[in-house]
């Protein structure tokens, strides 16, 4: 084989590879990792569901350091993947940099808003879902003290905590809500030891239901709560099964639906802001065989009623984002 033939053959092979990945969607996980039993894992489940139903494949990549965000997003767009779904609030700046360079690629950002013609921003009404689990916590507590443990101290996590405090105070205005953040750096998403100690500290202050919105750190919160025989509340994915009978419920954030929809819509999907809330089951609370004994019919009725009234607009849950403060809790 001559050199020319080799080069041509190589070029042809490259062309085949390139056309094969064309229009295949890609998913970029955030720090915290694919199997965090929470946010990223929910996205993985959505992608997996899409792959099983359509028989198509997708590409995934996991960010392990801040510096990789732009690099990985660029690589995905460069390789012809479309749409490219990126997870996490921190990727807003990534897409602001990468998306304008690839106007023909559709990007989807979960958890933050970027105003660009080829970016769909999916945001969740976490405060509404958190409101419901806050109500459940307030009805389950015997000490009238409940806890909230956030991961990294960012407005998104305060948004969770704010909805939670409002829900709890709707049930019992006298309730005490203790809130702690694990840290101020991304390491706060992966420090179960600190999460566990924060849990113990909250328990010693009297908390007997603790809501963890902290990614991998939440594993430690749920563990410490189960060890001390108090209830905990999981987040993003259904975490009820982690400690059956000891996790009161989980605040579901259907990141899987966001990813599934993006993959189904395919290249050229509608850009703009998509807000997923209670009405379209974008957020909610988990009820399954693991926590059924913990949630009484009365509690369920009260929460379902509140859900209807939030959807109809009768109850308005204040958002932390509106003026960067929370009416129910001082962070």
Partner 1 sequence: MDFLTLLQVLDTTVRLATPLLFACLAGLVCERAGIFDIGLEGKMLASAFFSAAVAAISGSVWIGLLAGVTASMALAGVHGLASITFRGNQLISGVAINFLASGLTVLIAQDWFGQGGRTPSLSGGARFNEIKLPFADLLSGLPYIGQSYAELFSGHSILVYVGFLTVPLTWWVIFRTRFGLRLRAAGENPEAVDTAGVNVIRLRYTAIAICGLLCGLAGVYLATGLQAGFVKEMSSGRGFIALAALIFAKWRPWYALFSCLLFGFFQALSFRPDVVKAVTSLDVPGQLLDALPYILTVVILAGFVGKAIPPRAGGEPYVKEN
Footprint on this chain of partner 1 (rule: CB under 8 A): 33-36, 41, 178, 180-181, 183-184, 187, 190-194, 196-198, 200-201, 204-205, 216, 219-220, 223, 227, 242
Residue closer to partner 1 by CB (options 66, 280) is 66
The end-to-end CA distance of the chain, in Å, is 71
Q: At 87, list the tokens.
A: 């997870």
Would you say 94 and 116 are in contact if contact means Cβ atoms under 8 Å apart? no
Residue closer to partner 1 by CB (options 91, 180) is 180
Residue closer to partner 1 by CB (options 12, 193) is 193
Least distance (Å) from partner 1 to the CB of residue 111?
A: 19
Least distance (Å) from partner 1 to the CB of residue 168?
A: 18
Burial class of residue 172 (count of CB atoms within 10 Å of its CB; 0-12, 13-18, 19+): middle
Residue closer to partner 1 by CB (options 194, 307) is 194
Least distance (Å) from partner 1 to the CB of residue 153?
A: 9
Sign, CA dihedral 298-299-304-310, equals positive
Least distance (Å) from partner 1 to the CB of residue 32?
A: 9
Least distance (Å) from partner 1 to the CB of residue 188?
A: 9
SS3 328: coil
Least distance (Å) from partner 1 to the CB of residue 295?
A: 23
| Burial annotation 239-251 (CB, 10 A radius, 16+ → b, else e) | bbbbbeebbbbbb
Least distance (Å) from partner 1 to the CB of residue 187?
A: 5
Residue closer to partner 1 by CB (options 125, 223) is 223
Residue closer to partner 1 by CB (options 169, 194) is 194
SS3 266: coil
| Burial annotation 79-115 (CB, 10 A radius, 16+ → b, else e) | bbbbbbbbbbbbbbebbeebbeebeebbbbbbbbebe
Q: At 318, list the tokens.
A: 């204040």
What is the spatial distance between Cα 73 and Cα 312, in angstroms, rounded to a whole number? Answer: 39
Residue closer to partner 1 by CB (options 124, 331) is 331
Phi-psi category of residue 32: left, alpha or beta, with phi > 0 → left and psi -120 to 50 → alpha: left
């Amino acid at each position: 084989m001559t050199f020319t033939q080799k080069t041509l053959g190589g070029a042809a092979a490259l062309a085949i590879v390139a056309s094969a990945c064309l229009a295949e969607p890609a998913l970029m996980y955030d720090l915290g990792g694919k199997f965090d039993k929470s946010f990223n894992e929910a996205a993985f489940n959505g992608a997996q569901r899409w792959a099983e139903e359509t028989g198509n494949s997708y590409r995934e990549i996991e960010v392990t350091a801040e510096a990789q965000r732009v690099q990985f997003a660029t690589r995905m767009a460069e390789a012809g993947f479309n749409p490219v779904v990126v997870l996490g609030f921190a990727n807003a700046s990534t897409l602001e940099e990468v998306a304008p360079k690839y106007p023909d690629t559709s990007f989807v950002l979960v958890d933050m808003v970027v105003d660009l013609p080829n970016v769909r921003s999916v945001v969740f009404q976490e405060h509404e879902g958190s409101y419901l689990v806050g109500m459940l916590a307030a009805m389950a507590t015997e000490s009238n003290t409940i806890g909230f443990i956030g991961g990294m101290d960012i407005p998104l996590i305060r948004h969770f905590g704010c909805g939670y405090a409002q829900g709890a105070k709707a049930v019992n205005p006298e309730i005490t809500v203790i809130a702690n953040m694990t840290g101020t750096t991304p390491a706060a998403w992966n420090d179960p030891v600190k999460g566990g100690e924060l849990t113990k500290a909250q328990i010693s202050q009297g908390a007997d239901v603790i809501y963890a919105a902290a990614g991998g750190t939440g594993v430690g919160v749920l563990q410490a709560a189960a060890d001390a025989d108090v209830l905990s509340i999981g987040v993003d994915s259904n975490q009820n099964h982690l400690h059956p009978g000891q996790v009161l419920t989980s605040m579901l954030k259907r990141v899987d639906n966001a990813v599934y929809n993006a993959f189904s819509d395919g290249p050229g999907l509608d850009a703009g802001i998509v807000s997923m809330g209670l009405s379209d089951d974008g957020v909610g609370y988990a009820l399954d065989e693991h926590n059924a004994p913990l949630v009484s019919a009365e509690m369920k009725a009260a929460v379902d009623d509140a859900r209807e009234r939030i959807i109809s607009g009768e109850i308005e849950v204040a958002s932390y984002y509106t003026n960067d403060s929370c009416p129910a809790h001082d962070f």
